[in-house]
Amino acid sequence: MRDTGGHPVRHAGQPRPVTEDDSERRLASAFAGGETWALEACYLRWSPLVFTLALRRLGEDADAQDVTQEVFLKAWRGRAGYDPDQRPLPAWLVGIARHTIADRMSSRTRDHRLHERITAVHEEPRDSGPADTVTDTLVVVDLLTRLEQPRREIVALAFLEGLTHAEVCARTGLPLGTVKSHIRRGLTQLRHHLGAGDDTP
């Protein structure tokens, strides 16, 4: 049985904590509510993720800067359509980023008159969905930078390196109970940050 904090069975439809990071949740609500400080906070928090993602895809620093600007402007102006209860803020921003990058790539393609490639290039990021490993990787790295020790090390060893609980204990010198609890919380945080793999903004 999975340890579900005293409940023998976790039901699929049962609400569960989306994240233990309440500050992030409050930021998402404030952003959706149009509180202006939230845009600055959101930018400080996630612009490196958006910028790096754009840089990785587009290769050009100037294009990545334009995309970063566009993503946060779109997010802010489109905040009425954002429901923090449905979607974590980082997953929403990453979705907007992927569409914006796709648009940029398709306009580049048009510029080069490679009409036959438009559809493929335009569709690529949408089709890649949850299998878009580069995006996932940057999202995970972004989360790792936020985690305090020892969770950061435990999450990296257990989820990225694929070590067993016992191996994580041996590597960190921490007791099994502590390791298990960090792994469980770490999984919740990873699930939250990666979102459902749906990139519709």
**Rule CB under 8 A: which of 9-38 touch other proteins?**
9-12, 23, 26-27, 30, 34, 36-38
**Rule CB under 8 A: which of 154-193 touch other proteins?**
156-162, 164-165, 180, 183-184, 187, 190-191
Closest approach, Cβ 119 to other proteins, in A, equals: 26
**Rule CB under 8 A: which of 98-127 touch other proteins?**
none
Separation of alpha carbons 172 and 1, rounded Å: 25
Separation of alpha carbons 139 and 34, rounded Å: 25
Q: Does 136 bind other proteins (CB under 8 A)?
A: yes
Closest approach, Cβ 153 to other proteins, in A, equals: 4
For other proteins, which is the closer residue by CB, 108 or 180?
180
Please pick, from the candidates 65, 103, 108, 121, the single residue that binds other proteins as defined by CB under 8 A: 65
* Distance set, CA 54 to CA 63, 65, 98, 177 (Å): 8, 8, 8, 40
Residue-level length of the chain? 201
Task: Please report which residue ranges of the chain form alpha helices under DSSP H.
Answer: 22-32, 36-58, 61-77, 89-111, 115-128, 133-146, 151-155, 165-172, 176-194
Closest approach, Cβ 123 to other proteins, in A, equals: 21
Please pick, from the candidates 58, 96, 140, 169, the single residue that binds other proteins as defined by CB under 8 A: 140
Please pick, from the candidates 141, 175, 198, 200, the single residue that binds other proteins as defined by CB under 8 A: 141
Q: How many residues bind other proteins (CB under 8 A)?
A: 73
Residue 13 contacts residue 187 (beta carbons within 8 Å): no
Compute CA 26 distance to the chain's CA centroid, rounded to the nearest angstrom.
Answer: 17
